[in-house]
Amino acid sequence: MTVSLDLIDVDSLLTSEELDIRATARRFADERLRPQLPEWFESATIPARDLAKELGALGLLGMHLTGYGCAGLGPVAYGLACLEIEAADSGMRSLVSVQGSLAMYAIWKYGSEEQKTEWLPRMAAGEAIGCFGLTEPDFGSNPAGMRTNARRDGDDWVLNGSKMWITNGSVADVAVVWARAEDGVRGFVVPTETPGFSAPEITRKMSLRASVTSELILEDVRLPASAMLPEARGLSGPLGCLNEARFGIIFGAMGAARDCLETALDYAAERQVFDKPLSAYQLTQAKFADMSVELNKGILLAVHLGRLKEKGVLRPEQVSVGKLNNVREAIAIARECRTILAANGISGEYPIMRHANNLESVLTYEGTSEVHQLVIGQALTGQAAFR
């Protein structure tokens, strides 16, 4: 693909450091990920440990955190890396998001010095994989109802319950688990080798197949007092982590959309229908024009929100605007591109159907589109309509 999709020159808003990070992530996505993804998606297996180490060596894990072996880069650089990785596959971006923005961020933001020094350098290097257990079988959008509980037994904590749909669960070395304690929701750093902890993998997914998704089962998991995250109290702890991961998705979803659009543009240039290239028809060009407008608006929105985050003024409802819009538009773009490839659009020979299927998960996780509508609705009306 030779034509730039950056019609409004968003690149002019980026620093040379941000462009360098983007180039590094793009190279890794093109050379290491893209060639393997059809096979990983079809077989629903990924070399998670190898990938984590390779991503760690490039400085892409917890890259927006400071200290403890993390790269300490800005939010826009982090977002651009998510965009390039998700242009290969949303499942790959999930690996990066859950590691850096959920598991590492929880420890970095709320952990004790001991927890930080024990886990963060290994996680930044990809030598230890983390997962983040908030969702339960009966409580997804409403984590306030969680049943997983933590009770004191002498100095120890004993955790019981289960978590569902947990990315990286079966391959994780450490799980950040949110549980109800006497004084409300608290977070715990759980080494996955702890007796009573297990993480069976969820199979038969039709979406995000190049990602490990698991149930977490906690049966009398006994932890020392030091396992609790001391600085997280109540639901604002896990929700604070979600802001970070949702921010990465605002960029990431545009990567999946861009890959679909590039594929469809290339295809339409080659495909002859009624004796001329598909790209020469007005109907096709109208589709391309509309999709590229949404892609450019989405990336511009992402960079703008990144600049607000850089200044430390990004509000949760602004993150919801980005996540709602960009994932919704990415799915619309993937589906429209699929029509351009017609029958070939459903084939695994092309990435479009894989992106479209993946984006169904992205629409649901990190807050469903309905939850984000309600967050925005609350900001506009002052009325919380969640319950």
User: Which is catalytic among the residues 114, 127, 366, 370?
Assistant: 366
Q: Closest distance between ligand TGC and the C-beta of residue 123, in Å?
A: 16
Pick one of 74, 79, 161, 367: the residue that binds ligand TGC (CB under 6 A): 367
Tell me which residue of 329, 350, 136, 168 sits closest to 249, measured CA to CA: 329
CA distance 6 to 299: 9
- Token pair for 339: 């029509």
> Going by DSSP bridges, is the β-strand pair 130-133/174-181 parallel, antiparallel, or unpaired?
parallel
Nearer to ligand TGC, 5 or 321 (CB): 321
Nearer to ligand FAD, 214 or 292 (CB): 214
Pick one of 37, 60, 98, 128: the residue that binds ligand FAD (CB under 6 A): 98
| Among ligand TGC, ligand FAD, none, partner that 133 touches (CB below 5 to 8 angstroms by kind) | ligand FAD
Nearer to ligand FAD, 95 or 291 (CB): 95
Q: Closest distance between ligand FAD and the C-beta of residue 212, in Å?
A: 9
CA distance 87 to 180: 37
- Token pair for 331: 């799915």
| Among ligand TGC, ligand FAD, none, partner that 245 touches (CB below 5 to 8 angstroms by kind) | ligand TGC
Q: Provide the H-helix boundaries in the chain.
A: 16-28, 37-43, 48-57, 75-88, 90-97, 105-110, 113-124, 236-270, 282-310, 316-345, 352-364, 369-381
Task: Report the interhelical angle of 316-345 vs 352-364 (nearest 10°).
Answer: 150
- State how far the alpha carbon of 151 is from the alpha carbons of 181, 188, 225, in Å: 6, 12, 11
Does position 213 interact with ligand FAD (CB under 6 A)? The reply is: yes
| Among ligand FAD, ligand TGC, none, partner that 370 touches (CB below 5 to 8 angstroms by kind) | ligand FAD
Per CB under 6 A, the segment of 36-44, 215-223, 265-273, 361-369 that binds ligand FAD is 361-369
CA distance 356 to 265: 17
Question: Cβ(194)–Cβ(121) under 8 Å?
Answer: no
**Helices H / strands E in the chain, number of each:** 12, 9
Does position 245 interact with ligand TGC (CB under 6 A)? The reply is: yes
Does position 170 interact with ligand FAD (CB under 6 A)? The reply is: no
Task: Report the interhelical angle of 75-88 vs 16-28 (nearest 10°).
Answer: 20
Specify whether 317 is catalytic: no
| Among ligand FAD, ligand TGC, none, partner that 240 touches (CB below 5 to 8 angstroms by kind) | ligand TGC
**Interface residues toward ligand TGC, by CB under 6 A:** 94, 97-98, 132, 134-135, 141-144, 167, 234-236, 239-240, 242-243, 245, 316, 365-367, 371, 375, 386
Positions that interact with ligand FAD (CB under 6 A) = 98, 132-135, 140-141, 165-167, 208, 213, 361, 364-365, 368, 370-371, 386
- What residues act catalytically? 366
